[in-house]
């Protein structure tokens, strides 16, 4: 069994959830746990800034109050620190820096690629300990190099400096979004998910249930297509195009890939590209009413009303619901 842990390493509940998962797995058959990236704050600054100053911002204060209704941010921090202590984390406890976790996720992805789940888990443990217990800036290249070296991954510093893992992490974040991951941490086994740092008993029950319902595996290109489609449905056309990109070479002539790309181009206002793909689709299958309808709308948005009119009219004749 493979357990994917979709989490942000700057999320206290991710560290707490790690301890609870470890307790849940005690006495069970060995499983593979893989850390996947989730970003709580994609706009977090680079370089990091002291967290104390951020917490004095009234807007941040309001946002933190919404996260824990009925508690002030200070009261919630005390509550989380007590929960962390109960799981054997700290003292001391509490992050000191607010910054991007992107490079930390790059390090985790590289650790898995070069040393598998055991090395990745060792790196994850040290990253979160550095952030929450030692008060270090885990966005700092030197800190990440020290963390990696301590875990036995000495070559990581050079890899990070070369930008390794950047595209991999960005794509994985999109896959998580496509799969509906919205909380850090979220455990995923196959097509089943458990959100939040749940108690060990709940995790065990989740794993038993997930083990009884193994999903049918799909070819990688089909899975990628479905994730791209899900992103477009979630109003992220640029993300959909990012995931579609690797399919354009071998599967670029597939009508399903072409149509999804055209829809994503249209939704992201790349109208020239949308029109080019749709014109090819209409030429291939003249009775594709949806392709004609979308082509007409694309041409109209480009200011090409005379060219749009016959496409829209023909689409409406073929499919009356397209009549405007």
Q: How many residues does the chain have?
A: 324
- pTM of the predicted model, to two decimals? 0.92
Query: What tokens does 156 get?
Result: 């990581």
Query: What tokens does 181 get?
Result: 């991951």
Full strand arrangement of the beta sheet holding 186-189: 32-37, 2-7, 186-189, 192-195
Of 219, 274, 223, 221, the C-alpha closest to 246 is 221
Beta strand ranges found along 66-176 (DSSP E): 97-98
Between 315 and 191, the more confident residue is 315
Query: What tokens does 278 get?
Result: 């749709």
Please compute Rg for the chain using Cα positions.
Answer: 24
Please tell me whether residue 80 adopts helix, strand or coil conformation. Answer: helix
The verdict on whether omega for the bond into residue 92 sits within 30 degrees of 0, i.e. cis, is yes
What confidence category does residue 66 fall into, taking pLDDT thresholds of 50, 70 and 90? Answer: low
Flag whether pLDDT at 60 surpasses 80.
no
Flag whether pLDDT at 63 surpasses 70.
no
- pLDDT tens string 132-141: 999 999 999 9
Query: What tokens does 246 get?
Result: 């690797």
CATH code of 220-322, in short, is 1.25.40.10
CATH 1.25.40.10 domain residues, the chain = 220-322
The verdict on whether omega for the bond into residue 80 sits within 30 degrees of 0, i.e. cis, is no
Apex 5 CA angle, 194 and 114, nearest 5? 160
Q: How many CB atoms lie within 10 A of CB 184?
A: 24
Q: 15-19, 29-33, 99-103 — which is least confidently predicted?
A: 29-33
CB 137 within 8 A of CB 99: yes
The mean pLDDT of the chain is 95
Say whether domain 2-211 belongs to CATH 3.40.30.10.
yes
The pLDDT, as a whole number, for residue 214 is 73
Q: How many CB atoms lie within 10 A of CB 155?
A: 12
> How distant, in Å, are the alpha carbons of 101, 173, 218, 222 from that of 166?
12, 11, 26, 24
């Amino acid at each position: 069994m493979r357990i994917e842990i979709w989490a942000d390493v700057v999320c206290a509940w991710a560290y707490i959830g790690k301890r609870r998962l470890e307790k849940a797995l005690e006495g069970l058959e060995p499983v593979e746990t893989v850390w996947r990236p989730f970003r709580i704050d994609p706009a977090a600054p680079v370089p990091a800034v002291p967290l104390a100053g951020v917490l004095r911002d009234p807007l941040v204060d309001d946002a933190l109050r919404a996260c824990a209704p009925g508690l002030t941010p200070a009261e919630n921090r005390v509550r989380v620190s007590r929960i962390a202590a109960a799981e054997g984390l700290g003292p001391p406890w509490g992050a000191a820096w607010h910054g991007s976790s992107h490079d930390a996720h790059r390090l985790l992805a590289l650790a898995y690629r070069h040393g598998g789940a055991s090395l990745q888990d060792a790196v994850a443990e040290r990253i979160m300990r550095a952030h929450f217990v030692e008060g270090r800036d885990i966005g700092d290249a030197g800190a990440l190099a020290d963390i990696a070296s301590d875990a036995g991954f000495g070559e990581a510093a050079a890899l990070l400096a070369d930008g390794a893992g950047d595209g991999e992490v960005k794509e994985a974040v999109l896959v998580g979004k496509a799969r509906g991951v919205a909380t850090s941490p979220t455990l995923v086994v196959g097509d089943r998910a458990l959100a939040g740092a749940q108690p060990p008993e709940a995790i065990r029950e989740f794993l038993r249930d997930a083990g009884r319902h193994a999903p049918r595996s799909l070819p990688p290109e089909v899975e990628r297509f479905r994730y791209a489609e899900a992103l477009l449905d979630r109003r992220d056309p640029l993300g959909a195009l990012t995931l579609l990109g690797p399919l354009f070479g071998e599967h670029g002539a597939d009508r399903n890939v072409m149509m999804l790309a055209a829809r994503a181009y249209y939704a992201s206002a790349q109208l020239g590209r949308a029109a080019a793909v749709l014109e090819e689709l209409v030429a291939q299958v003249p009775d594709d009413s949806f392709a004609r309808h979308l082509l007409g709308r694309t041409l109209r948005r480009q200011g090409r009303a005379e060219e749009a009119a016959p496409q829209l009219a023909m689409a409406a004749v073929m499919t009356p619901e397209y009549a405007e």
